[in-house]
Chains A and B, each alone.
Chain A
Amino acid sequence: MQSLELDSGYKKWWRSNQQKIAPWLFLFPAILFFTLYVIAPIFQSMWYSLFAWDGIGAKEWIGFANYIELLDDDRFYTSLKNNVIWLALFMLAVPIGLFVALFLNQTIMGMRFYKSMFFFPFVISQVVVGLIFSWFYNPNFGIIGQIWNFFGAEAPSILGDEDLVTYGIIFAGLWPQVSYCMILYLTGLNNVSQDQIEAGRLDGAKGWRMLRHVILPQLWPATFLAIVITVIGALRSFDMIAIMTQGGPYGSSNVLSYFMFETALSEYGFRMGYGSAIAVILFLIMLLFIGYFLWVMYNDEKRG
């Protein structure tokens, strides 16, 4: 008798609290792994950045010495400058993606094929994109070399010239990024309400004004997403640099993420503390953007 009572008591508790508990149960695996693999390492990096440590020996507490050294490190400023260039130029992916999407958003024969061709670069791995472009850029046998030679000029060595190298890599990086933005806009365009376009047309709007005042506002969610993804993509531009130049020539195409990898994990690195300090700086820069994005999203939600 007693056990039955207990049992029904438990069931009763479950029934009345089911609604509250269920979401947490579903969230539990995600929260667990997010904490373990994302949140915890952030604080670990902050902790490690206060040590001099080669990854295998004993850790030596040095306080903020890593950060002070960073402020006096030319490579840090080169990387920071390149990160700013990346951020600015990578943003081009958003308008170009929009333009391509508008261009592809029509119904003619074989449109699906063209769309998939434009989407193709996003499907290829970044490593392959980097490799292909480093061949393009080769002044001896690459396409750039061929074109220049055809006109009798001497091809520039884009990846070997400190003034061109970053732009060369960004250009390569834009290719897949544009197709990503394009896809975001294509799905956005599907949801543009036909009624409003009709209404706009009746009021005599067309061309640029139609785009500016009727279509673009409706594409705001897609635009926002494209910007967020492009900013993050620019800040963590790592694979392209690793494949195309390894930060060279003599460190002139370095960015913070690759600089961090190089100091902490590459063949000549294994300064875990210093690498962590770079990671923390990169994290703070990202935090600025992420904070802003979250704030925008929060306001959007409140309004909606």
Chain B
Amino acid sequence: MKSVLKLGLSSLVASALFASSAFAGDLVINYDDPNQAPKAAFEAAVEAFKKENPDINVIVNINDREAHKTAIRNFLSADAPDVTAWYPGNRMAPFVNAGQFEDISDLWASDENLSKNFEAIKPTMSRDGKQWGVPYSYYQWGIYYRADIFKKHNISEPKTWDQLLGACDTLKENGITPFTIGTKYLWTAAGVFDYLNLRTNGYNVHNDLTAGKIKYTDDRIRKTFANWQQMLDRCTFVKNHASMSWQDALAPFAKGEAAMYVMGNFAVAAMQDAGLKEDQIDFFQFPEINADVARAEEAPADAFFIPSKAKNKADARKFLSFIARPEVQGEWNKTLRQLPPNSKASINTEDKFIVEGFETVSTASGLAQFFDRDAPAEMAKAGMEGFQEFMVKPDRLDAILKRLDKIQSRVYK
């Protein structure tokens, strides 16, 4: 709902905002999250940057995330800011291919901090062997669960697939739906699929699938769906998930009607807003399915880019190199309650989700961005619709996979 609702209006507002003309010495930054914590973290970093560079006049435009996704296509060509927030992986591909993002490989090579402390995430920021942006934050995915309910029914954190299925059986015996989810906006279903696929087949199959090298009717992908089928049967998801957003799906979780949620770490804040206390929620890594497969994780990153039409590229580079610093990334992500991509940055050791998240991500054999960031947009949309349909009508699996193959063969020509 939020996307379309705000889209029209805010793109209007956005174009009005961005029309303000910039002079030399101005540094215009478009940021995409007006929510309290992200905004505070961003503004604090900008303040620190201003203090260090009093001669640069920083102009900040903060736009709604969904509106930003639409507006960026206009402002990159019409009235480009000097720095803009965007996402790496396949999401940056259209702009990179159209020459609308500045190649900043020089910065990655010359800035010691960037070249040394971002090894893990560098591949995601690269395309055609060049680097295009600087990440400021990322976050882990996994299973968030109601610790109090698990304790009450004597369930411990599942480490393997069988343990997870066993936990589900216990929960169902006690009248609790094991998993909540809201698939109205589709991407939540992709999170479940990605994890099942990463655990069944591993990181390379995830990459090959999203790169169009493996068919959806491939036996390996069918195996992923077979596991999903098992999950649907024994670890039931809440009913009516197709008409709920991810926030709507928090209601049964908060009420104790459902006990687990495959989600990103941003959900913790929302769970607490829904009235759950810190010790009622906990996190465990998505359990192992195939012991032969090295553990890979979903860890989508947020980044900043320089449009190629930016007027003040020198200061823009200065800003990107500033936000890459370990102390800046540490501060930023403490406020944001996420993980700093800079491996030298400190994390908030009092936040148990961050500690566990850091452990999860830093020991993973590979980091996936997310189905809808790794696959091209059209394939992502069709794929996620297929996942949702499978969750509602599992018996249509064959038809769904064949349809996805058909779309795949067209998308990746």
Binding site for B on A (CB under 8 A): 54-57, 69, 74, 127, 131, 134, 137-141, 157-162, 242-243, 245-246, 248-251, 262, 265-271
Contact = CB atoms under 8 A, between A and B. Distances in A.
B297 to A, nearest CB: 24
Contacts of B157: none
B389 A250 contact: yes
Contacts of A160: 240-244, 392
Interface residues of B, number: 39
A246 B4 contact: yes
Contact of B378 (A137, A161, A249, A271): A271
Nearest to B400: A250
A157 B95 contact: no
A154 to B, nearest CB: 8
Contacts of B242: 157, 159-161, 248-250
B1 A246 contact: yes
Contact of A248 (B70, B98, B186, B251): B186
A303 to B, nearest CB: 43
B5 A127 contact: yes
Given A56-B94, A243-B1, A268-B381, A157 B76 contact: no
A37 B363 CA distance: 56
A56 B76 CA distance: 10
B98 A57 contact: yes
Given A245-B243, A249-B242, A270 B403 contact: no
B98 A56 contact: yes
Given A127-B5, A243-B5, A56 B240 contact: no
Given A56-B98, A248-B186, A242 B4 contact: yes
Contacts of B172: none
B60 interface: no
Interface of B: 1, 3-5, 66, 69-70, 73, 76-77, 94-95, 97-98, 100, 183-186, 239-244, 251-252, 372, 377-378, 380-381, 385-386, 388-389, 392, 403, 410
B99 to A, nearest CB: 9
Contacts of B77: 56
B388 A249 contact: yes
Contact of A55 (B73, B241, B252, B385): B73
A56 B73 contact: yes
B3 A267 contact: yes
Given A131-B1, A246-B4, A248-B242, 18 more contacts: A54-B94, A57-B98, A127-B5, A140-B251, A159-B242, A160-B241, A160-B392, A243-B4, A243-B5, A245-B243, A248-B184, A248-B385, A250-B389, A266-B4, A268-B377, A269-B381, A270-B377, A271-B378
| A-B complex: 8 closest residue pairs judged by Cβ atoms | A268-B381, A160-B243, A160-B242, A157-B240, A249-B242, A250-B389, A242-B4, A159-B243
